[in-house]
Each structure stands twice: as C-alpha cells, then as structure tokens.
Amino acid sequence: MEEEKTRMKKGDTIVLYPSPGMGHLISMVELGKRILELNPPFSITILLTQASFNTGSTAPYVRMVESSFPAITFIHLPPISLPIDSSNLPHHETLIFRLLRLNNPLIHQSLLSLSLSSSILAILYDSFCGPVLDIAAQLHIPCYCFSTSPASCLAAFLYFPTLHRLTPTSFKDLHDTPLHFPGLPPVPASAIPLPMLDRNDEAYDGVLQLSGDLSKPAGILINTFDALEPRALKAISEGSCVPDAPTPPVYCIGPLIAKEKGEGSRDCLHWLGSQPSHSIVFLCFGSLGLFSSAQLIEIAVGLERSRQRFLWVVRSPPSEDPTKRFLPTPEPDLEALLPDGFLERTKGQGLVVKSWAPQMAVLSHNSVGGFVTHCGWNSVLEALCAGVPMVAWPLYAEQRLNRVVLVEEMGLAMPMVGAEKGWVEAEEVEKRVRGLMESEEGKALRERTAQMRDKAMTALGEGGSSRDALTELTRVWKQS
Ligand code: UDP
C-alpha cells in the first residue's frame, strides 16, 4: 500500500479542498471516491483544514478513509486559531470565512510543495473556499467549484448580488415577504441563509464575495442530479441567475453519499433489527444540530404522545457560556435532560442514542419508515437514496431554504411548523410524526420519495446523467 501511495504521489493528482465540517468533508471524499471509480490515471489529494472551534470531529473518519483508499492522500494543514470575542459573537459562517482567508497562505505553501512531487491537474474547492481562486490563477491550475448544497441553493447564491442591488434594505426587515429567485418557489425573506439577512453583518459581505466568486471557476460541480431540481438547473444554465455575466458550466454529479463514516456506536442497529418493518421514525439533526433543554422536553413529550416507534439522537444543549459556544458539547445526561420517567415509560416504544448514530445505516434499515431532519443536504440525499420520507426541521446554514424547496418544489417532506421561528410545540411534534407515519399525506410522500430514489439510481448508473457528467470532466482533466 505504501509503495502504491509513493508511486501515485509522483504522478498526476487532483486536489480537493473542502471547508471545515463533517458534511463538507464527507461530500468531498465521496467525490474523490467516485472519480477514482472511473479508473483515471491520477490520484486524489485532500487539503484538510484544522479549525480551533467546533466543526465536528473528523479524525476517525479521516483515518478510516486513509486506511481504505490508498489513492486518496490527506495533507493535514497546520491548525489555525481564531480569537473569538465573546462580547460580539459572530455566526458560524463568519468564522469559516475568516478561517479560510487566513488559511490561504498555508494552501499556497501546500500546493507549492505538492507540485514538487506531483502535477496538479485541477483543484476542486467547495464554495466557501473561493479565496483559493487567486492562488490557483497564480499557479495556472484550473479550478472547479463543488457545491455541496442543492442546485436551488446555488441558484440563490448566484442571484444574491443582483437581489442585493435591487433591495434597499436588509432582508431581515422584510420578515416573511416572498423573495423571487430564478428557478425557485417563492422564498420568505426570513428563510434565506442567516448570513444573508443583515447587510451590516460581516458574514453578509462574505456571502456577497462567495456569490461573486461563483462566476470565476472553470465549472461548477453540484451534488444533485438532473431529475431532482430541473427548474433551478434550467435557471442556472440559461444564465437567469447572473444576468450580467456568463455562468460557468454546471455538472450534476450526485447524489454522492457516504455509507460509512467510521464513528458512533452501532448498537442501535441491533435494536432496529428487532423492530417491525418501516415502523420507526428516526430523529437526527446533522453534525452540529443542538436544542435547548426546553425544546428537548417538547420533543420528548410529542414523541411519547404520538405513540410512534422512534430512534432519537440527543445531544447536550448549547453551552450558556458564550466563550464555549463554538466548542463541542459534552455527552448528554439523558436522565437529567428528558422528562421524568421518559426513558422508562418509552422503553418498548423507542430508543434514545447519545450524540451520534450511524445515520446512513439507520436510514437504510428496513425498520425505518420516516426521518425528522434538519435538512442538511447530505442528510436529505441520504434519506432520498434510502427512500425514506422526511419531516423538515431546519436549524442552521442554508437549511431553511432547503426546507422550502423540499416541501414546496420537490414534495419530499412535510414541514415541522414553528421550526422556522425557532420553537416547536409538543403538539406539533406529535401531529407531524404521526402524520408522517400514518396519514395519506405521509403515504404520498413515501411514494414520491421512492420514485425519486429510482431516478437517482438511474442518474448514477451506466449511461446515467451524473455518471456521464463526471466521465466528461475526468476526460477534460486528463487532457489538461
Ligand atoms: N451524521 C451521522 N450521524 C449523526 C449525525 C450526522 O452519520 O448522528 C452524518 C449524516 O449522515 C451526514 C452528515 O453527518 O452524512 C451531516 O451532513 P449534513 O449535510 O446533513 O449536515 P451538516 O452536519 O453539514 O449540517
């Protein structure tokens, strides 16, 4: 294996540059694996940024990939420490933007060292990592953006500078006024990603920069497939999202999903094995989703009253100490967090898992029939590929926008009402969970999800649109 790595390192390579966070990393690794399946004459090198704040632990996953895929090499960049002023706490995205700007000299250095031993055919960076464009231009390396969010979100980002010019006020002041992005259903102003809401916010400028940078790469890869978002894709490729400049060609190469992420207890899978077919509703909220103690209690009460079987991943609430807001939370004390006697009373009805579950394996299990999700794009694609219908409970990043698209455009989820305002009553949890598992609406969602899963498999198969798009890119890189 070592010998093979050395041989590959001396040859051609494609560099992948994900932004920090498990969701971004997983998608990038899957992209690397998918490229390698096409047997290209080059290796994959992943630049791994290390942040001092909570972006989820990626170490076990990275170790697993390193040991299983000899043609994938990680370059572990030196950690960057960001001083955080606790009196003026920024968004998570603000930290990411700051971090990735500071990271640029390290990226430059890594690319220079790598180019001593390898010929870099292309850099694929995720949309937050736009600062790499300048370095790539200096080094004459073609750059491709990889959007780990849906095409609908890409359409919104591409159109954002235009919308900014047309709107005299901060979007937060428009409350629920519908905004009209090309190729999307009307989106309430309050549902656009948080950093886009306030034009006095540092993150707002970061998003404007990110959006402007999207016209610079040689192409944009998206983790989606043609049949899932035809309207948004048409708007992007027709240039409706950027009226005053050409939009780079777009390649839909998804769905890319990771079957194995190398961490968390698998005990819950044994438990699922003892449950009836399609009877379980799974509740899991991404790598960073946290709820207040009061909200955890509402969920517990709603679940118990729904009488539906459940598997629920519970994390500790966010720390009340502002200086700890961006640090990982400790293991939850379930007895203290959940209502008195809840665990005992629901023993035959459900299982609570601490902090992390093997989500893809859970969703693929025959006992699982519904998913309450935070609408992170990886989670959505994983549910879709497993044919599991969703209840949309968005929490952060672009998830409120994803919710609108999932519910209004794709018809793959029902909304958890109240989530968009940050508070969901127990009655709503009870009603939605029961509705998902038992109602005609839930049944219709299940059927549409199964149809979309079949279309996803077609896109990925021989002669499918996603496979063809990646094959075409691989051919272009080989020639460069
Ligand atoms: N995930 C998991 N177990 C958990 C929570 C998350 O395996 O308990 C995985 C999930 O399957 C997905 C990723 O972590 O692949 C989360 O990515 P997503 O884009 O859904 O959300 P993010 O964490 O980026 O907000």
Ligand 1 centre to CA of 393 (Å) is 14
> pLDDT by residue (tens digit) across 447-477?
999 999 999 999 999 999 999 999 999 999 9
Region 335-355: mean pLDDT is 97
Q: What is the ipTM of this complex?
A: 1.00
State if residue 148 touches ligand 1 by the CB under 6 angstroms criterion.
no
Residue that is written with structure tokens 């044994």 in the block: 270
Mutation to probe ligand 1, out of 287, 290, 402 (largest number of atoms < 8 A from CB):
287
Mean pLDDT to the nearest integer, 138-166: 97
Instruction: Read off the tokens for 246.
Output: 């050409």
Give yes or no for a contact between 184 and 407, defined as CB atoms under 8 angstroms apart.
Answer: no
Residues forming beta bridges with residue 210, ordered by sequence position: none
Overall average pLDDT of the 132-161 stretch:
97
Helix (H, G, I), strand (E, B) or coil at 272: helix
Pocket flag, ligand 1, residue 379 (CB < 6 Å)? yes
**For residue 342, what are its two tokens?**
């809840």
**56: pLDDT confidence band, cut at 50, 70 and 90?**
low
26 lines ligand 1 (CB under 6 A): yes
Task: Using the atom order of ligand 1, give the atom closest to the CA of residue 359.
Answer: 7
Q: Say whether pTM exceeds 0.90.
A: yes
Full DSSP string of 352-415 = EEES---HHHHHHSTTEEEEEE---HHHHHHHHHHT--EEE---STTHHHHHHIIIIII--EEE
Structure-block tokens of residue 387: 């044919």
Binned at pLDDT 50, 70 and 90, residue 54 comes out as low
Query: Does 416 have pLDDT greater than 90?
Result: yes
Query: Residue 195 in contact with residue 207, Cβ under 8 Å?
Result: yes
Q: Say which amino acid occupies 89.
A: L
- Cα of 286 vs centre of ligand 1, distance in Å, is 4
Q: What is the mean pLDDT of residues 8-18?
A: 84
Lowest mean pLDDT among 76-80, 301-305, 421-425: 76-80
Q: Measure 378 CA to ligand 1 centroid, in angstroms.
A: 6
- Beta-bridged to residue 123, according to DSSP, are 15, 143
Of 43-52, 197-206, 342-351, 394-403, give the lowest mean pLDDT range.
Answer: 43-52
Q: Which atom of ligand 1 is nearest to the CA of 258?
A: 15
Residue predicted with more confidence, 246 or 87: 246
pLDDT category at 226 given cuts 50, 70, 90 is: very high
Burial class (CB in 10 A: 0-12, 13-18, 19+), 70: middle
How do residues 64-76 score in pLDDT, each as one tens digit?
A: 999 999 999 999 9
If you take atom 2 of ligand 1, which residue's CA is the nearest one? 359
Q: What CA–CA distance (Å, rounded) separates 89 from 73?
A: 35
**194-230 burial, b for 16+ CB within 10 Å, e for fewer?**
bbbbebebebbebbbebbbbbbebbbbbbbbbbbbbe
Query: Taking 60 as the threshold, does the pLDDT of residue 1 lie above it?
Result: no
Q: Which atom of ligand 1 is the closest one to the Cα of 27? A: 15
**CB of 207 shorter than 6 A to ligand 1:** no
Given the structure tokens 């047309």, which residue do they identify?
Answer: 166
Confidence at residue 23, expressed as pLDDT on a 0 to 100 scale: 80
pLDDT higher than 70, residue 86: no
Residue 381, ligand 1, Cβ within 6 A = no
Four-residue CA torsion sign, 423, 428, 432, 434: positive
What does the pLDDT average to over 295-302?
98
Give the C-alpha separation, 358 to 439, whole Å: 28
Q: Who's near 105: CB < 8 A, 6+ residues apart?
A: none
204 close to 196: Cβ distance less than 8 angstroms:
yes
Q: What's the CA gap between 213 and 475, in Å, rounded?
A: 25
CA 153, 247, 216 angle in degrees (round to 5)?
95
Provide the pLDDT confidence category of residue 9 given band limits of 50, 70 and 90: very low
Q: How confident is the model at residue 87 (pLDDT cuts 50, 70, 90)?
A: low
What is the rounded average pLDDT of the residues 304-312?
A: 98
Question: What single-letter amino acid sits at 385?
Answer: C
Rounded average pLDDT over 121-140: 97
What is the model's pLDDT at position 264? Answer: 66
